[in-house]
Amino acid sequence: MSAPWWQTLKETARPQGDIRRRNASAWLPHVTELRSSMRHFADQDEVDMVVVGCGAGGATFTQRLAHAGWRVVCLEAGPFWDPERDWVSDESGSHHLYWNEPRVIGGSHPVPLGSNNSGRGVGGSMVHFAGYAPRLHPSDFRTRTLDGVGADWPLSYEELRPHYRRLEQELPVAGQFWPWGDPHPHPHPPHPVGGNGEVMLQGCAALGIEARVGPVAIVNGRFGNRPHCIYRGFCLQGCKVNAKASPLITHVPDAIVHGAEIRADAMVTRVETDPQGRRVTGVRYVRRGREHFQRAAAVAIAGYSIETPRLLLNSANSRFPDGLCNDHDLVGRYVMVQGAPQTAGRFPDEIRMYKAPPPEVSTEEFYETDPGKPYRRGYAIQTVSPLPITWAEHVAQQGHWGKDLRQRMTDYCHWATLGALCEFLPQARNRVTLADEKDRHGLPVARFDHYHCDNDDLLLEAATRTMERILRAAGATELMTIERYAHLVGGCRMGRTPEEGVVDADLRTFAIPNLFITDGSVLPTQGSANPALTIMALADRAATQLTGGTP
């Protein structure tokens, strides 16, 4: 039975001094200043852990281990970003934040890869994520038992709860009290509501649908040395003022101060093992045109749902001829994306949907399985705020062009947009394999094949109809919907046995005891929630288990 909400509030409202003791990033000098004093290891040094990827999972795992006194090197394929120099308030000028290396997509419903599901550089995709940071629901961990679909996790929501709380405080997360799933407060109050949020609140109120403000990992008020959000509307292009959380700002500074090395522009090409293939010995990587080998007592891969399976498949050896840890043909399987249709409505008054955090108001009223519906599981709805270039692409997809497109673009400020996150079910055929095409390093690139099941299509239709109802109830005079996908999880799922998953509940691979996977590829199901907070919480839990710390 869940604790009463007032007890949760008491536990959540810890003093900032406690947060500072475990992660002082918000009180430290800017990460760009700290780089000059960062510790450096030699390739021949056998570090305690080498982490591949500096996104949500990799950066959190690195910081936790460094805090425990471990010698850690985190290798990141992309650059070490300087927000002042590298990020701009411009859509087209921000494409360098995405993973733009070649990939091949296929299946009956191919998923475009790039801006809304891949990241490049220190901070990973959280550098350009929208800032939305909800928890999964307790039911997400038991979908097979409760609903007969998906898979049960090898750990429970209750085991992850303290790690959710810690990360919510450290990012920090701002929002109203959350009544869904495991009801809980957020450590910071909600942001002011913009025009898009007002539309959703009005429409939901008219229909009797509960909606709340938040939760967003965007500072509301000063937090340490980090400034308040200024509502500039470019969260998806990198937050120049550092109000929005990303590992570059929230965990990397503390990791550096505690002795970790963040080695950017280092593309890992292979995980090496001993001759018997029983233990990993380090990783090969390319930096500035030269191949290196970093020795390590253990390795953690955090390249996310496309690059992590690709790296394991490219690391085949005599013991694992089909890819490292792929003895049960699970590496690359069960990759999930969320169906993410967006429905927009035109209003007589100006809405200016970009003037607020993009996912500002949301509802999880439709998140759980409804026995009266023909589908299992559900969807969430939140405000989204496409900027003008993206908006033009949306309008053009509806067949509007030329003078008609120009006229509709002049109406941009009159539109409000809602987005759904539909829980697509894990399927073994949705998988990453190696393509025949090679990248600039001579390595086979990833191929991602994706298909819908009938349940997926039913969810998409239901979510779209609900968004239309909300916008109509708020007074929209015209509607427009585009189909799209968001987020990536799965590909190296966790399980109770080697036949069920690639890693166990502690994110340790079953096949090799000193190899870990600490990213979103380990999720067995995805819920209808943005995955960043869950990825960070899982990495925190894995590090706690490994170091013997306390959550």
Residue 401, CB-side half-sphere exposure with 13 Å CA sphere: 2
Cis peptide before 215 (omega within 30 of 0): yes
Residue 387: alpha-carbon gap to chain centroid: 21
Q: No. of H helices and E strands in the chain?
A: 15, 19
Domain-located, residue 271: yes
Give the per-residue pLDDT at 2: 46
| Partners of residue 438 on adjacent β-strands | 444
Cβ–Cβ under 8 Å, residues 243 and 87: no
Domain-located, residue 11: no
Give the per-residue pLDDT at 263: 98
A 10 A CB-CB count for 210 gives 11
Question: Which runs of consecutive H residues, i.e. helices, occur in 398-513?
Answer: 403-410, 454-473
311: nearest Cα among 263, 262, 268, 265: 268
Q: Strand 261-263 and strand 72-75: pairing?
A: parallel
How far is Cα 495 from Cα 134, in angstroms, rounded to an integer? 23
Q: Strand 104-106 and strand 444-449: pairing?
A: parallel
Give the per-residue pLDDT at 91: 84
Cβ–Cβ under 8 Å, residues 264 and 122: yes
How far is Cα 525 from Cα 147, in angstroms, rounded to an integer? 13
Domain-located, residue 95: yes
CATH of the domain at 178: 3.50.50.60
How far is Cα 301 from Cα 195, in angstroms, rounded to an integer? 41
A 10 A CB-CB count for 7 gives 10
Give the per-residue pLDDT at 98: 87
Domain-located, residue 505: yes
Domain-located, residue 297: yes
Give the per-residue pLDDT at 235: 86
For residue 19, what are its two tokens? 């947060």
Residue 15 is classified by DSSP as: -
> If DSSP states are collapsed to H, E and C, what string results for 324-383?
CCCCCCCCCCCCEEEECCEEEEECCCCCCCCCCCCCCEEECCCCCCCCCCCCCCCEEEEE
The residue type of 251 is H
Collect the ranges in the chain with pLDDT lower than 70: 1-15, 116, 550-551
Give the per-residue pLDDT at 550: 67
Phi and psi at 170, nearest 5°, equal -80, -30
| Partners of residue 268 on adjacent β-strands | 285
Residue 296 is classified by DSSP as: B
Domain-located, residue 4: no
Using DSSP's 3-state secondary structure scheme, residue 515 falls into strand
Q: In the chain, how many domains are there? A: 1
Stated pTM of the model: 0.95
Tokens 């916008």 locate to: 471
Domain-located, residue 219: yes
CA dihedral 496, 498, 502, 507 (to 10 degrees): 50
Q: What percent of the chain has pLDDT over 70?
A: 97
Give the per-residue pLDDT at 15: 53
Q: What are the DSSP calls for 94-159, one per residue?
A: GGGGS--S--EEESSS----STTT---STTGGGGSS--B-PPPPGGGGBHHHHHSSS-B-SS-HHH
State which residues form the domain around 174. Answer: 28-547
CA dihedral 147, 149, 154, 159 (to 10 degrees): -40
Using DSSP's 3-state secondary structure scheme, residue 57 falls into helix
For residue 388, what are its two tokens? 């003008």
Cβ–Cβ under 8 Å, residues 493 and 334: yes
Domain-located, residue 410: yes
Cβ–Cβ under 8 Å, residues 155 and 161: no
